[in-house]
Amino acid sequence: MKGIKTVYICSECEYESPKWLGRCPKCNSWNTFVEDAVAVESPSAAKKRPSVARTGENRAARFSELSAPDYIRTETGLCELDRVLGGGLVTGSVVLLSGEPGIGKSTLLLQICDTLCKGKTVLYVSGEESRSQLKLRAERLGVEGERLYVLTETNIESILEEAKTVSPDVIIADSVQTMYSDRVPSAPGSITNVKEVAMSFIAKAKSEGISVILVGHVNKEGGIAGPKVLEHMVDAVLNFEGDKRQSYRIIRANKNRYGSTNEIGVFEMTDTGLREVPNPSEMLLADRPADTSGNCAVCTMEGTRPLVAEIQALVTPTSFPAPRRTSNGIDYNRTYLILAVLEKRLGLKFSANDVYLNVIGGMRIDEPASDLGIALALISSLTDRPIPDDLIAIGELGLSGECRGVANIEGRVREAARLGFTTAVVPLHNVQSCENISGIKVVAAKNVYDILKFLKPKKE
Ligand code: TYD
Ligand code: MG
């Protein structure tokens, strides 16, 4: 077609090439080029495109005269989501919600419509489901919504035209990969199209103060399909994670211009939609096996919330020249580090064994405060000596085998006590700040030798 050229674009850095390349010459990533078609635009037409930077005032302003913004936040009706957003959906912000297909993105968004449209007009644009499908789902979820409008359309120009008549306060676009612009000749879901659609929504959000929630699919590597630049353009990127075979779902902020990225929201998928789990520790500790070796409870901080999780280790004699190390939910490097410390300082022969580590409930733990618990679980499995069920281990492990203090110890021990743990093993340095909590005995561990005494004798 005239005025259209086929190009190959790197999905990492958007480097454009007339032919396919195995390795991007700009960002050096491999196998990131995808075919795309772009319109050959005259420079004057390109200037007319909506730009985020060009909306609003464009004069230099004196910094001292700027006033701090007073964000207007709207509660979504789901406290778990509000907390991840930083206290509610900010007016005029653009949020990207990503997750695997079937994880529950559309369900979550339709559910929040129920509360949102009590005070605001919401336009739910779906490029994936028909009106009757949406209606059926809304009925199942108990969403009524007088001021909820549904549009099944994938052309961004028509969507924005329709938005003029509805004049919504919130637009939900499900999903950005199904939508396309007339300006872009390539197929929906291509890099240029995803970017163009997102840019149009962002321009609309910023110029009219509309909150926009974009749904983004993830590719097989787990990243958001489409250009990486999408993540830089939006105000917040929320990730909806979880194992589809299990009912738990965790929402995490990967980026948030209006709040912390440490908070998580925990949900459970039920037959009437997503249910909030305000006490995730209880959920994670359900069905704990009693009196078996290789299990240890740890307490990690997720934002401001202490979360008690269970680590399981399985250490078995290896039949491979290089022993296997599998770790689910725990950073690999951390696992290797702990194993090396235990091998060197305690002389335990992990090198002759395969090691499997798992965090129950699909949780991910990346805080060093769980080192001590991981170490205990590993030793327990290797020696086949169980750890008491009511013991929790908190602390970081240093390379010399020393137990190092961690932050927020009081909150962690309190949470453990609330859940019925009666002994907390904490670094010596931390003992003072948590020894007077009722119902739980705090025991100091100076180094890795000290934790050995907590293992019960081997069962016959
Ligand atoms: P959905 O929101 O369509 O996922 P996504 O938009 O992320 O692709 O969720 C689909 C799954 O959720 C589907 O497998 C069925 C399940 N589900 C429930 O278990 N209960 C419910 O009430 C609903 C609406 C969906
Ligand atoms: Mg969906």
Confidence of residue 34 (pLDDT cuts 50, 70, 90): confident
Residues 294 and 362 in one domain: yes
Helices 131-141 & 105-119 angle (0-180, nearest 10): 80
In a domain, 62, yes or no: no
Reading the block at residue 66, the tokens are 């700027």
In a domain, 54, yes or no: no
pLDDT for position 51: 54
pLDDT for position 383: 94
CA of 70 to the centre of ligand 1 (A): 35
Query: What is the Cα–Cα distance from 28 to 328, expressed in whole angstroms?
Result: 29
Is the beta carbon of 103 within 6 A of some atom in ligand 1?
Answer: yes
Residues 232 and 296 in one domain: no
pLDDT for position 45: 62
Residues 250 and 335 in one domain: no
Is the beta carbon of 257 within 6 A of some atom in ligand 1?
Answer: no
Nearest CA to ligand 1 atom 19: 271
Of ligand 1's atoms, which has the minimum distance to the CA of residue 100?
Answer: 7
Kindly report whether the peptide bond that precedes residue 351 is cis, defined as omega within 30 degrees of 0.
Answer: no
Residues 294 and 335 in one domain: yes
pLDDT for position 398: 95
- What CATH number does the domain containing 397 carry? 3.30.230.10
Question: What percentage of residues in the chain have a pLDDT greater than 90?
Answer: 56
Residues 398 and 432 in one domain: yes
For residue 422, give the nearest of 377, 446, 387 by alpha carbon: 387
Q: Nearest ligand, CA of residue 126?
A: 2
Residues 184 and 221 in one domain: yes
**Are 139 and 207 contacting, i.e. CB atoms less than 8 angstroms apart?**
no
Q: What is the pLDDT of residues 146-167, one digit of tens each?
A: 899 999 999 999 999 999 999 9
Query: What is the Cα–Cα distance from 189 to 405, expressed in whole angstroms?
Result: 48
In a domain, 118, yes or no: yes
Query: Residue 283 — φ and ψ, nearest 5°?
Result: -65, -40
Residues 328 and 179 in one domain: no
Is the beta carbon of 107 within 6 A of some atom in ligand 1?
Answer: yes
pLDDT for position 448: 92
Q: Nearest ligand, CA of residue 178?
A: 2
Q: Is the pLDDT at 337 greater than 60, yes or no?
A: yes
Residues 354 and 405 in one domain: yes
Nearest CA to ligand 1 atom 12: 104
Confidence of residue 371 (pLDDT cuts 50, 70, 90): very high
Is the beta carbon of 42 within 6 A of some atom in ligand 1?
Answer: no
CA of 107 to the centre of ligand 1 (A): 6
Residues 233 and 292 in one domain: no
Q: Is the pLDDT at 325 greater than 80, yes or no?
A: yes
Of ligand 1's atoms, which has the minimum distance to the CA of residue 269?
Answer: 19
Q: Which residues partner with 37 through β-bridges?
A: 6
In a domain, 63, yes or no: no
> Which residue carries 């653009």 as its tokens?
94
Domain that holds residue 398: 283-454
Q: Domain count of the chain?
A: 3
Residues 325 and 352 in one domain: yes
The pLDDT of 270-296, averaged and rounded, is: 86
In a domain, 459, yes or no: no
- Domain boundary pick from 278, 308, 332: 278
- Domain boundary pick from 243, 259, 278: 278
- What CATH number does the domain containing 88 carry? 3.40.50.300
* pTM listed for this prediction: 0.76
In a domain, 440, yes or no: yes
Q: What is the pLDDT of residues 99-150, one digit of tens each?
A: 888 899 999 999 999 999 888 999 999 999 999 999 999 999 999 888 999 9
In a domain, 36, yes or no: yes
Q: Is the pLDDT at 459 greater than 80, yes or no?
A: no
Classify the C-alpha dihedral 344-326-407-413 as positive or negative. Answer: negative
Of ligand 1's atoms, which has the minimum distance to the CA of residue 240?
Answer: 7
Name the residue of 96, 105, 106, 107 to mutate for ligand 1: max ligand atoms within 8 A of Cβ: 107
Query: What is the Cα–Cα distance from 443 to 440, expressed in whole angstroms?
Result: 10
Nearest CA to ligand 1 atom 25: 273
The pLDDT of 305-315, averaged and rounded, is: 91
Name the residue of 176, 245, 269 to mutate for ligand 1: max ligand atoms within 8 A of Cβ: 269
CA of 251 to the centre of ligand 2 (A): 16
Residues 406 and 372 in one domain: yes
In a domain, 33, yes or no: yes
Residues 218 and 318 in one domain: no
Q: Is the pLDDT at 413 greater than 90, yes or no?
A: yes
- Domain boundary pick from 244, 262, 278: 278
Reading the block at residue 239, the tokens are 């990730």
Q: Nearest ligand, CA of residue 103?
A: 1
Is the beta carbon of 99 within 6 A of some atom in ligand 1?
Answer: yes
For residue 396, give the nearest of 431, 366, 372 by alpha carbon: 372
Nearest CA to ligand 1 atom 1: 104
